[in-house]
């Protein structure tokens, strides 16, 4: 078998061998490229030139990738770059990856390879995240184990990519150069050792580069989730330059083996590091070690509800944070892994995001102009922070979306049941009554057609213009009823959805509050004055009463679209007949001289 799991102690040569033995590394996966064809149970081909979404693979590369340029024979795998036209591409090559087949968090990743040579050649052995949890490239990270460019045939590059989205993206790396000869003369071993908070690069067992979280400041360290492997030979592009008259084709990248080792002591417990109190069925896992036993233990107030004795355990959390542990016992090596789990709002309310010292969710992307370091336009008792976020809607995009990661939403059911409530401070130049929507999603599934991946929607409406107010968001609907509440990894904010507004919204202190601590309760959802609506649930008629005279009344559906403008008269109590209204969730919005109030309603079928 070319693809195997072998967990005997590692027997290696060079400086790394002693370190590997001491650290209890195990060989967990390898392809020795035996036989006569690529093992497609572990690798898949990427075909084409990246078009239409990423023409030239984002680097102005000139090759067309195809399976025909790969050969497995004599115990090695060969990728051949040829001067061969396919469409508008003057060269062909191959790119393979382990995406959606095998992937890892931490370990030692190595390959023994002989490089091609020539101006414009760009062979690479590298890694990308299995899921873009923190956002599109490079916000979720990239690890380049080895890159070589033809104009520097004796030099290898080790690099990571990180930071904001293009064009503000960041990268940091180092190089090492052979003392004599070039990398095409013979095989060399290229490796990276990846631990929770450190990456180390090696060539032929010699360390030449190290990166740690502090080296990326002020950008976050995103190397804490599963990555997969890629092998390819690009031709041309911004980085290597382009072939010229000196370049001889064909050129071959020859790979003797690819191996993955993992140290039992440094394997990470994967899963949410931030949970909500009372979250249920929160899943954690570790990479498998053959022949090992697994003993999980949860902190006081939490319990292991399934998976004890396996690599994956589910936890029901109580009201206090703590450390989750698993003891991995394998022949000759036993390690106890610990992960500290933070908990939201242990004292009634906790801030997910402000713009001075707290960020438990991370920005991914936005359709409008987003700044996270703007000056507070009007500090007051509601929000006295000096620094806030500013969002200016893009009027050409009807549904402006501001995206964040959502590690803290380990159980969306708590928000849907109003056990926990989302709140945010908002200041805007928009007229009172502007809708703001929050949405909890699964990033990968939400890329599919609506309603896939959209777990739950929460809404509030502004009542002031050019003044701070605290918005409290009410659950309105669950578009994807099949998406489990514990599969949330993306959080959206939509300011004035379904409009062409160019208004500006300043916001701060996105927080989670325990509903039992909110003395005012959840009704009305928002508003300047008291009032009541009955019956709720209703069927064919509805009543409202308040302390001031109604001036306007609107009935909206669950997504905030206007259903009906309701008749009003100068009175503090009104009644409406609503025959034939479809069953479901609605909003009633009533405006008096004191401002708008919004109420959450449910229409039930008539008996």
Query: Vertex 299, ends 298 and 300: CA angle to 5°?
Result: 125
What single DSSP character describes residue 98?
Answer: -
∠ CA 159-71-100, nearest 5°, is 55
Burial of 192 (0-12, 13-18, 19+ CB in 10 A): buried
In which residue are the tokens 């990246």 written?
A: 50
> Tokens for 127?
């890694």
**Residue entry with tokens 């777990």:** 455
Spatial strand order in the sheet of 274-275: 274-275, 333-343, 322-330, 293-297
Per the CB < 8 A criterion, the answer to whether 196 and 190 are in contact is no
Q: Are 589 and 596 within 8 A, CB to CB?
A: yes
Choice among 61, 71, 110, 147 that is catalytic: 147
| CA 358/CA 346 separation, integer angstroms | 16
Residue 499 tokens read as 């409009």
> Which member of 142, 189, 193, 195 is catalytic?
142
Close Cβ partners of 312 (under 8 Å, ≥ 6 residues apart) = 283, 284, 285, 286
The 3-state DSSP class for residue 17 equals: helix
Q: What angle do CA 338, 339, 345 make, to 5 degrees?
A: 145
Smallest CA-to-CA distance from 212 within 202, 226, 203, 223 is with 223
User: Can you read off the two tokens belonging to residue 557?
Assistant: 């559906």
Grouping H, G, I as helix, E, B as strand and the rest as coil, residue 253 is strand
- Is-contact 511 276, C-beta < 8 A? no
| 147: annotated active-site residue | yes
CA distances from 303 to 229, 283, 298, 338, 407 (A): 35, 12, 6, 16, 20
| Helices and strands: H and E segment counts in the chain | 3, 44
Task: For 580, list phi and psi in degrees, rounded to 5.
Answer: 75, 10
Neighbouring C-alpha atoms within 13 Å toward the C-beta of 37: 7
Q: Tell me the torsion sign for CA atoms 39, 2, 194, 103.
A: positive
Active-site annotation, residues: 142, 147
């Amino acid at each position: 078998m070319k693809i195997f799991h072998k967990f005997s102690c590692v027997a290696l040569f060079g400086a790394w061998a002693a370190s590997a033995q001491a650290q209890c590394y195990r060989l967990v996966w390898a392809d020795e490229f035996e036989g006569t064809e690529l093992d497609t149970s572990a690798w898949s081909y990427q075909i084409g030139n990246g078009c239409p979404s990423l023409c030239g693979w984002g680097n102005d590369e000139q090759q067309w990738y195809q399976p025909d340029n790969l050969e497995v024979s004599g115990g090695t795998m060969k990728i051949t770059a040829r001067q061969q036209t396919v469409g508008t591409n003057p060269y062909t090559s191959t790119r393979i990856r382990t995406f959606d087949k095998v992937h890892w968090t931490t370990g030692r990743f190595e390959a023994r390879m002989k490089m091609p040579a020539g101006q414009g050649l760009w062979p690479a052995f590298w890694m990308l995240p299995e899921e873009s949890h923190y956002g599109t490239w490079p916000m979720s990270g990239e690890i380049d184990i080895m890159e070589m460019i033809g104009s520097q045939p004796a030099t290898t590059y080790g690099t990571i990519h990180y930071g904001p989205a293009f064009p503000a993206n960041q990268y940091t790396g180092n190089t090492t150069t052979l003392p004599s000869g070039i990398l095409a003369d013979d095989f060399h071993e290229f490796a990276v050792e990846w631990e929770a908070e450190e990456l180390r690069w090696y060539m032929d067992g010699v360390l030449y580069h190290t990166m740690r979280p502090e080296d990326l400041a002020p950008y976050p360290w995103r190397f804490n989730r599963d990555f997969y492997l890629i092998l390819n030979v690009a031709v041309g592009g911004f980085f290597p330059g382009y072939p010229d008259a000196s370049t001889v084709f064909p050129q071959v990248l020859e790979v003797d083996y690819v191996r993955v080792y993992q140290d039992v002591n440094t394997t990470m417990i994967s899963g949410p590091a931030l949970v909500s109190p009372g979250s249920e069925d929160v899943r954690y896992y570790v990479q498998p070690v053959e022949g090992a036993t697994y003993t999980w233990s949860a902190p006081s107030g939490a319990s292991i509800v399934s998976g004890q004795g396996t690599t994956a355990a589910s936890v029901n959390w109580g009201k206090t944070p703590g450390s989750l542990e698993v003891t991995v016992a394998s022949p000759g090596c036993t390690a106890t892994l610990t992960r500290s789990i933070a908990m939201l709002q242990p004292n009634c309310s906790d801030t997910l995001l402000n713009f001075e010292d707290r960020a438990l969710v991370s920005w991914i992307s936005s359709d409008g102009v987003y700044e996270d370091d703007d000056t507070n336009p009007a500090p007051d008792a509601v929000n006295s922070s000096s620094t806030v976020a500013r969002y200016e809607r893009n009027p050409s995009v009807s549904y402006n979306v501001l995206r964040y990661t959502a590690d803290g939403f380990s159980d969306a059911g708590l928000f849907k049941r109003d056990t926990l409530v989302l709140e945010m401070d908002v200041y805007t130049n928009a007229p009172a009554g502007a809708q703001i929507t929050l949405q909890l999603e699964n990033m990968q599934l939400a890329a599919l057609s609506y309603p896939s991946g959209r777990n739950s929607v929460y809404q509030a409406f502004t009542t002031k213009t050019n003044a701070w107010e605290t918005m409290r968001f009410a659950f309105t609907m669950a578009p994807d009823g099949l998406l489990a509440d514990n599969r949330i990894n993306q959080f959206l904010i939509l300011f004035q959805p379904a409009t062409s507004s160019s208004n500006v919204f300043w916001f701060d202190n996105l927080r989670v509050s325990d509903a039992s601590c909110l003395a005012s309760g959840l009704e009305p959802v928002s508003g300047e004055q008291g009032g009541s609506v009955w019956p709720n649930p209703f069927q064919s008629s509805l009543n409202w009463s308040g302390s001031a005279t109604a001036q306007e009344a609107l009935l909206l559906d669950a997504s905030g679209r206007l259903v009906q403008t309701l008749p009003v008269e100068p009175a503090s109590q009104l009644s409406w007949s609503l025959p034939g209204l479809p069953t479901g969730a609605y909003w009633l919005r009533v405006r008096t001289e004191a401002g708008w109030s919004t109420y959450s309603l449910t229409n039930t079928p008539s008996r």
